[in-house]
Amino acid sequence: MNFNFEQVHNYYERLVFEEVVRRAQAHPDFSNDMLADVACVALNRLPARYVRHDVDMMFYLTEQERHAIELSLEEVLQFAFGFVQERAAKAPR
Protein backbone atom coordinates (compact mmCIF):
# COMPACT_ATOMS: atom_id res chain seq x y z
CA MET A 1 0.00 0.00 0.00
CA ASN A 2 1.27 3.47 -0.90
CA PHE A 3 0.53 6.43 1.41
CA ASN A 4 0.89 10.09 0.51
CA PHE A 5 0.89 12.63 3.32
CA GLU A 6 2.47 15.52 1.39
CA GLN A 7 -0.70 17.63 1.62
CA VAL A 8 -0.90 17.38 5.41
CA HIS A 9 0.40 20.49 7.15
CA ASN A 10 -0.15 22.71 10.17
CA TYR A 11 -2.78 25.28 9.20
CA TYR A 12 -0.98 28.04 11.12
CA GLU A 13 2.36 27.66 9.31
CA ARG A 14 1.41 29.61 6.20
CA LEU A 15 -0.39 32.29 8.23
CA VAL A 16 2.59 32.79 10.54
CA PHE A 17 5.19 32.72 7.75
CA GLU A 18 3.28 35.29 5.69
CA GLU A 19 2.78 37.56 8.68
CA VAL A 20 6.44 37.35 9.75
CA VAL A 21 7.49 38.35 6.22
CA ARG A 22 4.98 41.21 6.24
CA ARG A 23 6.16 42.47 9.62
CA ALA A 24 9.86 42.06 8.80
CA GLN A 25 9.83 45.53 7.21
CA ALA A 26 9.17 47.03 10.64
CA HIS A 27 12.19 45.11 12.01
CA PRO A 28 15.07 45.87 9.62
CA ASP A 29 17.59 44.87 12.31
CA PHE A 30 16.30 41.26 12.31
CA SER A 31 18.39 38.78 10.34
CA ASN A 32 16.85 35.92 8.38
CA ASP A 33 17.78 33.60 11.26
CA MET A 34 16.01 35.85 13.74
CA LEU A 35 12.88 35.92 11.56
CA ALA A 36 12.93 32.12 11.41
CA ASP A 37 13.20 32.11 15.21
CA VAL A 38 10.21 34.45 15.41
CA ALA A 39 8.19 32.02 13.30
CA CYS A 40 9.22 29.08 15.50
CA VAL A 41 8.39 30.91 18.74
CA ALA A 42 5.01 31.97 17.36
CA LEU A 43 4.13 28.50 16.05
CA ASN A 44 5.09 26.88 19.34
CA ARG A 45 2.60 29.13 21.14
CA LEU A 46 -0.29 28.17 18.84
CA PRO A 47 -2.20 24.89 18.90
CA ALA A 48 -1.39 22.45 16.13
CA ARG A 49 -4.22 22.38 13.56
CA TYR A 50 -3.35 19.85 10.89
CA VAL A 51 -5.28 19.95 7.64
CA ARG A 52 -4.95 18.76 4.08
CA HIS A 53 -6.45 21.88 2.49
CA ASP A 54 -6.61 25.34 4.08
CA VAL A 55 -9.91 26.11 2.36
CA ASP A 56 -11.52 23.13 4.09
CA MET A 57 -10.64 24.56 7.48
CA MET A 58 -11.81 28.07 6.58
CA PHE A 59 -15.10 26.73 5.26
CA TYR A 60 -15.99 25.12 8.58
CA LEU A 61 -14.96 28.01 10.84
CA THR A 62 -17.51 30.41 12.22
CA GLU A 63 -16.90 34.15 12.05
CA GLN A 64 -16.18 34.07 15.78
CA GLU A 65 -13.56 31.34 15.32
CA ARG A 66 -11.90 33.28 12.48
CA HIS A 67 -11.74 36.36 14.69
CA ALA A 68 -10.24 34.29 17.53
CA ILE A 69 -7.54 33.02 15.14
CA GLU A 70 -6.72 36.59 14.09
CA LEU A 71 -6.42 37.68 17.73
CA SER A 72 -4.27 34.67 18.57
CA LEU A 73 -1.95 35.38 15.66
CA GLU A 74 -1.58 39.01 16.71
CA GLU A 75 -0.80 38.03 20.29
CA VAL A 76 1.76 35.32 19.50
CA LEU A 77 3.52 37.39 16.85
CA GLN A 78 3.90 40.38 19.14
CA PHE A 79 5.29 38.07 21.80
CA ALA A 80 7.61 36.28 19.36
CA PHE A 81 9.14 39.46 17.91
CA GLY A 82 9.70 40.83 21.41
CA PHE A 83 11.11 37.54 22.69
CA VAL A 84 13.62 37.20 19.85
CA GLN A 85 14.62 40.86 20.06
CA GLU A 86 15.18 40.59 23.81
CA ARG A 87 17.30 37.46 23.44
CA ALA A 88 19.36 39.00 20.64
CA ALA A 89 20.07 42.06 22.79
CA LYS A 90 21.38 39.81 25.59
CA ALA A 91 23.57 37.70 23.29
CA PRO A 92 27.34 38.30 23.52
CA ARG A 93 28.73 40.10 20.51
Q: Please report, for the chain, the start and end positions of each structural domain, with discontinuous segments joined by +.
A: 9-79
Give CA separation, 60 vs 21, 22, 83, 84, in Å. Answer: 27, 27, 33, 34
* pLDDT tier, 8 (very low <50, low <70, confident <90, very high otherwise): very high
- Average of per-residue pLDDT across 61-66: 92
Residue 7 to residue 9: CA distance in whole angstroms: 6
pLDDT at 60 over 80: yes
Q: Name every residue whose Cβ is closer than 8 Å to that of residue 41 and which is 6 or more positions away in sequence.
A: 76, 79, 80, 83, 84
In tens, the pLDDT along 32-42 reads 999 999 999 99
pLDDT at 9 over 80: yes
CB atoms within 10 A of CB 9: 15
* pLDDT tier, 54 (very low <50, low <70, confident <90, very high otherwise): confident
Residue 15: which of 52, 33, 45, 42 has the closest Cα?
42
pLDDT value, residue 93? 66
Question: What mean pLDDT, rounded, does the chain reach?
Answer: 93
